[in-house]
Structure 1
Amino acid sequence: MRILLAAALLLTSAPVLAQQSPAKTMTASQDAFLRDYAETRRFMSGRPVNPRITPDEKTVLFLRGQPRAPIQTLFAFDVATGEAKEVLTPEAILKGSEETLTSEEKARRERMRVSARGFTSYQLSEDGERILVPLSGKLYLVERVSGKSTELKTGPGVIDPRFSADGQQVAYVRDNDVFRLEVASNKEHRVTTGGTPAKTHGLAEFVAQEEMSRFSGWWWSPDAKFIAYTESDTGQVEKLSIIDVMHPEKGAEDYSYPRPGKNNAKVRLGITPVTGGKTVWVQWDAEKYPYLATVMWPKKGPLTVLVQNRTQTEEKLLAVDTASGKTKELLTEKDDAWLELEQTFPVWLEDGSGFLWYTERNGGPEVELRNADGSLARSLVKPEAGFRNLARYIEKDRTLYFVGGPNPTESYLWRVKDGGAPEQVRPGTTGEAVEGGSVARSGNLAVISHSSPTSMPRTYVVRGDGSRVGELPSVAVEPGFVPVVEYREVGPLKFHSSLVRPRNAKPGQKLPTIVEVYAGPTVTVVHKSMAAHLLSQWMADQGFLIARFDGRGTPMRGAKWQRAVHLDFSGVTLEDQAAAVQALAAVVPEVDLQRVGIEGWSFGGYMGALAALKRPDVFKAAVAGAPVVDWLDYDTHYTERYLGLPQQHPEAYEKSSLLTYARDTSKPISPLLLIHGTADDNVYFFHTLKLSDALFRAGKYHELLPLSGLTHMVPDPLVTQRQHEWVMNHFKRHLAK
C-alpha cells in the first residue's frame, strides 16, 4: 500500500486562507529534532525488544533494529559473559529478495500495532534448542547450537506459526486452514479442510484481535496429537470497503466489520486429530455467550475456554471434555457495567491442581488462586497492589511476580509470596520509573525494561535478588535533551497530571496551553517516562505549556473510577479535562486560560473534536486525529462494552456521538483540524468525512488533512514529521498572540 501525504490542506465552508509554512515557524534545532524523532520512530529504533530467557537460563534472545531502519534482526545475550551477538538477519535469509506479506498478515500486524519489518516475532522450542522465525510469509528453523537455518517447506503465506510442546512439529495457518509440518522430514500436512475467506479455520476474527487481544485462532494439545481451532463465519457480518484514493483503478478491498447492534462473526471451537479425522465441536450456550474470549490448553488440567455475553456483563470459564465437546462450568463472573478481559488468565498450575484467576470483583485488579474445580483457594495479589500484568508464578515457593504498583504514573516488577505484601524485585526506584519485566521459570533470572523521567528505555538482565547481570545493548540514537516534566495531582479528584514548559520559559509569563489527551478506557497518558514527553518538550519549546491529565474513565484507579463512563463517553471524560485545566491554572499561574488547546488521536481524537464542539469556552483550538465520530460506526466488542446495545440504550449513542453536537447550529465551534488516514481499517476514514459533512452543512468552519494510504498507525517518517508540523502550525495560528 502506498504511503503518501496529501499535497494540500482542504478547507471547507470558508474561503481558502493563506497559510504560513510550518517549517518556517520552527528553529533549525527544532526542525532537526522532529526529523530525528520521526526517522528513529520516537528514538525507539535500535533498542532491544521482545526479550526471552532460554530454558537453561544461559541466554537471553531479543530482536533489535537499526537506529534509523526498523528492520529487526535476532540477537543472543550470553548471561555468563554479558556479551551479545547477532544470530540471524533477514538479509541472510532473503538473499537480496524483497520482503512480502499477505493481506491477512498485514491486517494481523495492524491489529497488533506492529510496524517493524524483518523479524517481528520468533518462537523458542520448549527445550530451547530451536528457534522458529517467520519472514516474508515463510518459516525458518534455526538450530541454536550450530546456528544453522533451514527453510521449512510450507506453502506460501504462513500465519501464526508455533512449535508443538515436544518441538517435533510446527503448526500454522495458511489459505484459511490449519497445517502442520514434521520438523524431521520437513513435510507439510493439512490439519483442517474447507476453510474459506468467509469461514476461516484457525484465524482470530477482527474483534478478537482488535479488542480482546486474542491474536490466535488455534492451539496445540499438550501431547501434540490434537489441535483446537476456531471456525469464524463472517458470512452475515456487514462488509465495509476501503479504496486507495490515489489509485481508484485498483478497486476496493472489503472487510468484515461488525458495527454495534449488528451481526458479529459466528465463532465455534473445534478439536481435531492432527492426522485428520472428525472434528469434535465444543458445546456451550453460544446464543447467550457469543464471544469466545480466551482459550487455554495446559499441560495438566482441561482445555479451558472463557466465553462472554454480548454486552460483557457476564462471562463463564468452562472446562472442556475433549472427547465429547461437552463443557463444565468452573466459575462465573458478573458486573453491572462491564467485565475487564485479561487475556493471560486463567493460568493453570503445572500439576493441574488449580489455576490463577483475574477479577475486579472487590473493586480493583486482583489475582486469585482457584482450585481445579473453580472454587476459591485464596487471594494472591490484593486490589490495592495495582496489578497490571503477570510476569511469572513460581509454584515451588508460591511466589507470584507481577508488573504494576499503586501509583498509575509508575510501574515496577514486584514479587508476592503466598499472598503476602508485595516487594520490589529492584528496590530503590519507587517514584521515578516505569518498568516492565519477565521472569525465568526458576525465578533466579529476570529481564527488566526501565525508563524514568530522565532516561530512555534500557533493558537489564538481573538475578532474582535484583542484582544486575548485564544490559541488552542498544544502538538507538539518543535524544539531544531531557524533557523537564512536572508531575502533580490537581483538583478535588486528584487527577494525575504532567506539565512540560519551554526550556527558556520566564517565570510568571502567561503562555498558551495544549492538552495532550486520550481520556478513554484502558489507557493512561501521565507516565514518569522520558520517552513519553520528548515530543511534548519539542511542542513546549515553541512557546507553549503542554499538559496531560488522567480523569475518570481511565484505568488503574479502581473499578468505580474507570466505570464512570458507563453509557456516556461525552460526560465526565470531557468535564474532567476541563476541570483539570482550571485546577492546573490555580497552581501554575503561567497557564493562560484564554488560550487553551487540545489534541489527540483515536479516542483522543474523539475527545479533541468533542472539546471543540461542546466546550469551546474552555478549549479555544483543537486537533482531532482519526476520531471515532459516531459510535454506531465503531466495532461491537469495544463499543457495546461501554455504551451497551444501541437497541437498548439509544440515548447513550446519541449523547456520545460528535454528530449530535456538530449539527447544532446554535452552538459555536473552536478552530478544528481533522486528520485521518484514508486506509484506516480500525476507525474508518468515513468517520471524519461524516463529521466534516455535518460541520459543513451546519456552517461551521473547520480544516481537514487526509493522510493518503495511511492506516490507524502512521509509521512513515515523512508523514509523521509533516503531521506534527501542521498540528503545531494550527495552534500557533489560533492560540499564539
Structure 2
Amino acid sequence: MVDKGIDKKLEKRFQSPTSPVTSYILSDPMKPSDGVREFSPIMTGSVEVPVKTDDSTPSSVLSSASPATSSSSLPSWGFSLPQFPQLPNFPSNPLPQVITQNLQGIRGYFPSNLNLPNFTSAMTLPMSSVISSFPSMPSMPSIPSIPSMVSSAISGVSFQQANPIKTWSQLKDSVRRAHRKLFEISGRVPFAFNFAQLNEGDTVIGTRIYFLCSMLNGSEITLYYCDILENQRNFTKSDSLSSQSSLDSGMEAIPSAVPETKDDAHESAFFTSNSNDSYHNENSSNGNENYNTNDGDDDYMPTNDDEDFVENDGDSFREKSNLQNFEWKPLIDLNVKYYTTESNLDSSSNNYQEKLQLERKRIMFSGITSYEYESSCKRFVFTSNGHLFHFDDDGTPPYHPIRLNSSSKSAKINPAICPANPDLVAFFSDNDVWVTHIQTGQELRLTNTKYNTNRRALIAGYPCYVIQEEFRRYTGFWWRPGFSKTTKSAGESSKLEFHILYEEVDESAVELVHLPTANGSVEDYRFPRAGGSNASSDLKLASFKYDESTHQLSDASCGPVPGLQSLYSIYPHYEYLVRCGWHSQDCVWVQLLNRQQKHLVLGLFSLSKSFPAQILIHEDNSPYWVNVHDFIHFLPNNSPCENNENCLKPGSEVEFFWISERTGYRHINLVKVQLVANGEDVRNKIAKKDHLTRNPAGPNNMDVEEKNETNPGHENDLFSSDLRSLLLERKQLTSGEWEVHNKEIWIDEKNELVYFVGLKDTPLERHLYCVSYRDIYCKKIRRLSELGFSHTLLAFNSDCDLFVNIQSNISIPPFGFVHRKVILSPASPPSSSFSQTSHNLQLGSSSNSAESTENVHFQKIGFILNNTSENWNLSMDSSCSSSDAPSSSTIMVDNESADVVPGMTKPELFTYRLKNSGETLYGLVFKPEFMESDVKYPCVLDIYGGPEVQVVTNAFKSTRLVRRHLLAGEGYVVVAIDGRGSHNRGAKFEAHIQGRIGQVEISDQVEVLEWLAETTNYIDLTRVAIHGWSYGGYLSLMGLAQRPDIFRIAIAGAPVTNWSLYDTGYTERYLDTPYANQAAYAKGNVLNLAKNFPDEENRLLLVHGLMDENVHFIHTMQLITHLIKAGKPYQIQIFPSERHSLRKAPSCEHNETQLLFYLEQHLKQCSTKFINV
C-alpha cells in the first residue's frame, strides 16, 4: 500500500520557500451595480492587491500557473533519498512515463551531488499538480513490480498541499496580536461631548470641550477635556502636538494609545473589543444618554500659547495637514482604585441592576460609562461601580471627585441634576427614586415601593426589561423644569417645592424566569415571553420641600399626576410608554405605542388642567411597524399667561419637530397643531371600558384588530376625533428614498436651521446636513461633511456655531476635527479653495435674522483626534463648506500608499443586484494579506442578517469587529452582507422579514455568496463556514439546516432557537403573537429543523453564556435536546459567568481562539471536492 504519510512528507519537502511579492495597483471606478454579474468596488481610489510575480510562482500554485523557477535561486538541503528496491514492471500501468517525467522535474530542487534512483516502472500514483510543474529530474532506478492495482479510480485526483495545523497557543497569540494592533490605531476614540465657554472677565476667549475616552491602559473610561481658544484657528506647526501629547503642570504625559507592557496590552486590547454583535443594534450610542450641550459662563485663564493664524491652501496632495492637534488633558485624577472601591455596597445588588443596564445599553467598557453635566456651574455627576460622584470645573484640572455616601446598599444609577437647582441630584437605587443634596450630603427616599414584599412587584423610576431592550429608554424619572414656592408660616424660613415625574412599573403579571449562574445559584428575572403579559406602567408625581436657608430636604410625597386620569385616557390601546418628558413647567408629553406596534401617538396633558389631555399626532405605519425614534423638539410657545409665563390652553398653537416614516423612509417633519377643548366626556367613557384590562393574548394585547363599531373604516376615530388636536400644518423638511438618523438632530432656533445626520448621498456613509425650516424659497439640503468617509460621532454646542466630528472609512481609522462656523459677506461667496481675506471672513455667531443654507460654512480649526500614520498621506483644506458639487473642504487620501494596519488587508465594499427583486445589496470582503493567483481560500460568512442593524458601512471596522481582521489574517476570506431586512434602507426593505423570520434571510446571503465566488474566483465554496451572534447565531443555525450543501460549518453564538421563548416587544413586532400567527412561529423555529442538520461530525459548534438574560440558555438547551433525539452530532462551548455579550477579557480571548481553532481543524484542513485534471 502507498504510505500517505510519506507522500505528504515529500510534498512538504518539495515546497519552495516564500518568494518576494510584487504589488500591483488595480484602480476601479466608483459606480453602482446595475446587473447581476457585476463586481465593482464602491470606494473611489486604488485598491492594493498583492500577487505573486510570474518568476516566483510558489509550489502551492495549481498547475495552471506557469512554472519558471530557476534552480540557482533555490536552497540546498543536506539529505538523501533512500535506495528503493526494484519492483516488478506493470505493463498495464498507464502512468509510468508521466511519473518519470514529473520526477525528473525535481532535479532543480536538490543539490547536484544527490543521486536519485531510476524508476523504470512504477505503480499508478495520483501525483499533485504541484509536482507536475517541476523541472525535469534524472531518471530513477527500476523498482520491482507489485500486485496489479486498478488505477482508474484515482487517476483523476488532484491533491492539495496541506498547511501545518496551528496549535492553540499559536492561535491565541494571533488573537492577542490582532487586538493589540487594532487598539494601537483605533482604540482611543472620544465620545459623549459637552461644551463650555472659557471666559476672561466678561470676554469669551474660547471653548472647552469635555468628552469620555479610554485611559492609556485601555481598561477604564474616564473624563478628558481640551481647550479651543478664539485665536486658535489654523496653524502651521512642524512639531504639532499629538492628541495624546505631554500634559502641562507636571501631570503624567499621555504619549499614545499603545499599552506599555505586553500584559497590559493584552488586557487593554479587549476592553471594548467584544466581537459578539449586539442583538439589535451595532450603531451603539455614545454612552451618555442625556447629556447637555449648553455653554458655561465661569471665568477661565487660558494656558495654551498663542499662535499665528495661517490659512492652508490645500494644494499639496501628499502634504501633511497643518491643522493644530488639540491637546487632551485629564479632567479628573486618574486614580482608578478610588472609583472602583465597593465600600458599603451590597455586592450582589451592585452586580445586578447596574450591570444589567450596561448590558441593555451595549456598553462594553468599565469606568465612567456616562455622566451628567450642568452648564450653569460646570458641574459633573457620574456613577462608577455603583457609587455616586460629583465635582465642578471651577479651578485647575485634574479634579478629585467627591463620593456621595448613601444609606442605600444598592447601586446608584441614572443620576440626574435638577435643572432649577444643580445642588440637587436624583438617582435610582433599590427600586426607588432618591434625591440628595451634594453640599450637605442629605438624601431623601422619595418613593417606597417595597418591591416583592407584597403581592405586587412594583418599581418606581426605572423602566421594565422590554422598554430598555427593545425601545432603548433607560431612565424612568424626569425633573420638573422649575419649582414652586410654598406658603410660609410665621417664623418659618422660605421653602421651595420640587417635583419629579416618574414611571411606576408593575411587573406582577410578568412571567418569572430562573436563570442559572456560575456559582450554582439562580437569578429570578421578570421576562415577558411572546404572547405573555407585559409589565404595566403609569405616571406619578413625587414632590419634596427644600429649605433655602438650612438646605434641608423634607416632606417627601408621591401620588397621581394632576390633570391625568391615566395613560389610557389619552390612548385606550396603549401598551408601551416608549418616551416621556416635560414640554414646559405645566405640560408633559408622552409617546404611547400599541402592542402590535403599528400605531403610535404623541400625547400632551396639563398639570393645571388648562386644557384636556389630547393627541398631538398619530402615526399609523400599517402594514409595517413603527420604529420608535429619539427626537422631538418643541419650539417656544408665544402665548403668555397672566403670570407672564408661557402656558397652553385651548386655542393655543403647538409647533414641534417630529420624525416620521409615513413616506416609507425616516424624515424630519415640522408640525403645527391647535389645542382643542372638547372631548372630556367621551374620554372618560372610553377609559372605563372593560376591554382595557391587560390580559395575555387578549384584545388589549392586540391579537384582535381595533374596530370602530360606530364608524367602520375609521378604527382610530372613536378616541381621536375628540382627543386629537387640530392639525394646522405639517411640513416635511427632508424627503427622498434615504433616511435621517433618529437621534442626531440639532435645532438652531436663532438662525432657523436644522442640522442632522443622514444617508442622503449613500446608505453606507453617515453625513452631516443642514436645511432651513422657515425659508420656503430655500429648501435645498446642504451637505457639510466630506464624501468618502462615514461621520460616526457628531456633537454641536448649544449655539450651533461649533461642532466636533469623528470620521473614518474602511481604510482609515477614526480621526476627528473641531469646526467653527464662519459667516461670509454676501459679496464674497466661498471659492474652491475657501481662501478668504480678513474683511470678508468673520468668525462667530451670525446676525439675528434667519440664515439661508447657502451661507452656512464651517471651518476646521484643528484635530481633536489625529490617528494619522506615516504609512498614508492626508492633506485637506481648512474649510468645511458644503455643496452637492465637489466640496471646497475635501480630505485627500493617497490610497496608493495607505496601509494603516500593516499585516492586514483593507476590506473591500461591493454591490449586488438581486435576480428576482432587483434590489441592491451591499457587502464587505476581508481578504488574506497575501493571496496567490488561481488558489481558492476557505470562506467565513460573518452574518447578522436581522432588523435594526446595518453591518456594511464605509467606516473603519476596528476593535469591536476585530474578528473579521483576525480571520483574514489567518487565511480566510471573510464576507459580510446586509440582506433584505437590514436597517437604514426604508420600511419596505426592512419589512422583508415581517412574518417570515428565518424563511428568507439565508437565500439572500447564499445568492450573493455564490455570485461573489464565481466573480472573484478566490472563494472555495466547498469550505464555507457561517458564523454569527444572537440573531446572527440564529441564522447560522438556519444556514446549516437549510443549506448544508453550501455551509460546511456553523458556529452559532447565543442563538435564538424558538421565538416563542423570546420577549414580547421584539418578537411580536415582526411575527405578531403566537396566538395570531402560529404558522410563522413554527416555520421560524430551529427546533423543527433538527432533523435537517448534517450527520457528519465537527460541523456544528454552539457558543453561549450560561447567565444570558436576553437570549436565555434554554434556547441552546432545547436545541441540544432535539439534536440528541435526531441523532445529530454537535459541540458546545459554554461561558459560565457571561451573559448575552462576552464582557470579560479572558472570555473574549478564549472565544476568538476557539473560533480559530475550530476553523483550523475542521474547515481549513477539511477534505474538499476533487477536481479532475
Residue of structure 2 equivalent to 1:210: 469
What SS does structure 2 have at the residue aligned with 1:304?
Answer: strand
Q: Is the 8 A contact 1:568 1:652 kept in 2?
A: yes
1:160 aligns with 2:414: yes
78-87 vs 650-659, greater mean Cα deviation: 78-87
Name the aligned partner's letter for residue 634 of structure 2: W
Displacement of 1:657 in angstroms is: 1.1
Deviations 1:278-337 (CA, angstroms, capped at 9, x unpaired): 522442327621111110213478310011111101111110222469621111111224
Q: What does 1:169-208 correspond to in 2, within 5 Å?
A: 169-196=424-451, 198-208=457-467
Q: How far, CA to CA, are the matches of 2:731 and 2:170 in structure 1?
A: 60
Provide closer, same or farther for how the CA distance between residues 186 and 73 of structure 1 changes in structure 2, counting only shifts above 3 A: same
Displacement of 1:502 in angstroms is: 0.9
Q: Is the 8 A contact 1:232 1:266 kept in 2?
A: yes
Residue of structure 2 equivalent to 1:506: 932
Displacement of 1:677 in angstroms is: 0.6
Residue of structure 1 equivalent to 2:219: 70
Name the aligned partner's letter for residue 196 of structure 2: T
What SS does structure 2 have at the residue aligned with 1:735?
Answer: helix
Q: What does 1:40-439 correspond to in 2, within 5 Å?
A: 40=183, 45-54=187-196, 58-80=207-229, 81=304, 82-89=326-333, 91=335, 94=338, 97-98=341-342, 101-146=350-395, 147=399, 149-156=401-408, 157-166=411-420, 167-196=422-451, 198-224=457-483, 225-245=498-518, 247-248=519-520, 251-275=521-545, 276-281=556-561, 282=564, 283-285=566-568, 288-299=573-584, 302-323=587-608, 327-351=613-637, 353-373=654-674, 375=727, 376-388=729-741, 389-406=743-760, 407-418=762-773, 420-426=779-785, 429-439=786-796
Displacement of 1:503 in angstroms is: 0.9
Q: What does 1:668-687 correspond to in 2, within 5 Å?
A: 671-687=1099-1115
Deviations 1:694-718 (CA, angstroms, capped at 9, x unpaired): 1121111111111121111112222
Provide closer, same or farther for how the CA distance between residues 580 and 96 of structure 1 changes in structure 2, counting only shifts above 3 A: closer
Q: Is the 8 A contact 2:1091 2:1128 kept in 1?
A: no
1:448 aligns with 2:448: no
174-183 vs 222-231, greater mean Cα deviation: 174-183
Name the aligned partner's letter for residue 254 of structure 1: D
Q: Is the 8 A contact 2:461 2:504 kept in 1?
A: yes
Q: How far, CA to CA, are the matches of 1:263 and 1:668 in structure 2?
A: 42
Q: How far, CA to CA, are the matches of 2:814 and 2:339 in structure 1?
A: 33
Q: Is the 8 A contact 1:613 1:668 kept in 2?
A: no
Query: How many corresponding residue pairs?
Result: 711
Provide closer, same or farther for how the CA distance between residues 326 and 189 of structure 1 changes in structure 2, counting only shifts above 3 A: farther
Provide closer, same or farther for how the CA distance between residues 475 and 62 of structure 1 changes in structure 2, counting only shifts above 3 A: farther
Q: Report the structure, 1 or 2, having the larger strand content.
A: 1
Deviations 1:415-469 (CA, angstroms, capped at 9, x unpaired): 222282332223xx31333433111121111111111122222333222334223
Q: Is the 8 A contact 2:446 2:558 kept in 1?
A: no
Q: How far, CA to CA, are the matches of 1:629 and 1:338 in structure 2?
A: 24
Q: Structure 2 residue aligned with 1:556, among 959, 974, 984? A: 984
Residue of structure 1 equivalent to 2:848: none
What SS does structure 1 have at the residue aligned with 2:597?
Answer: coil
What SS does structure 2 have at the residue aligned with 1:729?
Answer: helix
Name the aligned partner's letter for residue 489 of structure 1: T
Deviations 1:80-137 (CA, angstroms, capped at 9, x unpaired): 1533321113627827835863521111111111232221111111425211122232
Name the aligned partner's letter for residue 470 of structure 2: E
Q: Is the 8 A contact 1:413 1:435 kept in 2?
A: no
Q: How far, CA to CA, are the matches of 2:364 and 2:175 in structure 1?
A: 24
1:463 aligns with 2:786: no
351-360 vs 631-640, greater mean Cα deviation: 351-360
Q: What does 1:647-658 correspond to in 2, within 5 Å?
A: 647-658=1075-1086
List runs of 5+ in structure 2 lacking aligned partners. Answer: 1-163, 199-205, 230-303, 305-325, 484-497, 546-555, 639-653, 675-724, 822-856, 870-899, 1167-1173
Displacement of 1:674 in angstroms is: 0.7
What SS does structure 2 have at the residue aligned with 1:76?
Answer: strand
Residue of structure 1 equivalent to 2:235: none
Provide closer, same or farther for how the CA distance between residues 474 and 430 of structure 1 changes in structure 2, counting only shifts above 3 A: closer
TM-score normalised by the chain length of structure 2: 0.58
Provide closer, same or farther for how the CA distance between residues 230 and 663 of structure 1 changes in structure 2, counting only shifts above 3 A: farther
Q: Is the 8 A contact 1:171 1:179 kept in 2?
A: yes
Provide closer, same or farther for how the CA distance between residues 70 and 337 of structure 1 changes in structure 2, counting only shifts above 3 A: farther
Q: Is the 8 A contact 2:945 2:1031 kept in 1?
A: yes
What SS does structure 2 have at the residue aligned with 1:88?
Answer: coil
Q: How far, CA to CA, are the matches of 1:128 and 1:659 in structure 2?
A: 58
Q: Is the 8 A contact 1:233 1:265 kept in 2?
A: yes
Provide closer, same or farther for how the CA distance between residues 120 and 476 of structure 1 changes in structure 2, counting only shifts above 3 A: farther
Q: Is the 8 A contact 1:412 1:436 kept in 2?
A: no
Deviations 1:484-514 (CA, angstroms, capped at 9, x unpaired): 2211101333210111111110233222221
Q: Is the 8 A contact 2:226 2:329 kept in 1?
A: yes
Q: How far, CA to CA, are the matches of 1:340 and 1:154 in structure 2?
A: 41
Q: Structure 2 residue aligned with 1:518, among 933, 939, 944? A: 944
Displacement of 1:77 in angstroms is: 1.2
List runs of 5+ in structure 1 lacking aligned partners. Answer: 1-18
Q: How far, CA to CA, are the matches of 2:185 and 2:1134 in structure 1?
A: 26
Q: How far, CA to CA, are the matches of 1:128 and 1:531 in structure 2?
A: 39
Provide closer, same or farther for how the CA distance between residues 236 and 22 of structure 1 changes in structure 2, counting only shifts above 3 A: farther
Deviations 1:12-70 (CA, angstroms, capped at 9, x unpaired): xxxxxxx9775366596x354245279x5x97543323222236771111122234432
Provide closer, same or farther for how the CA distance between residues 148 and 689 of structure 1 changes in structure 2, counting only shifts above 3 A: closer
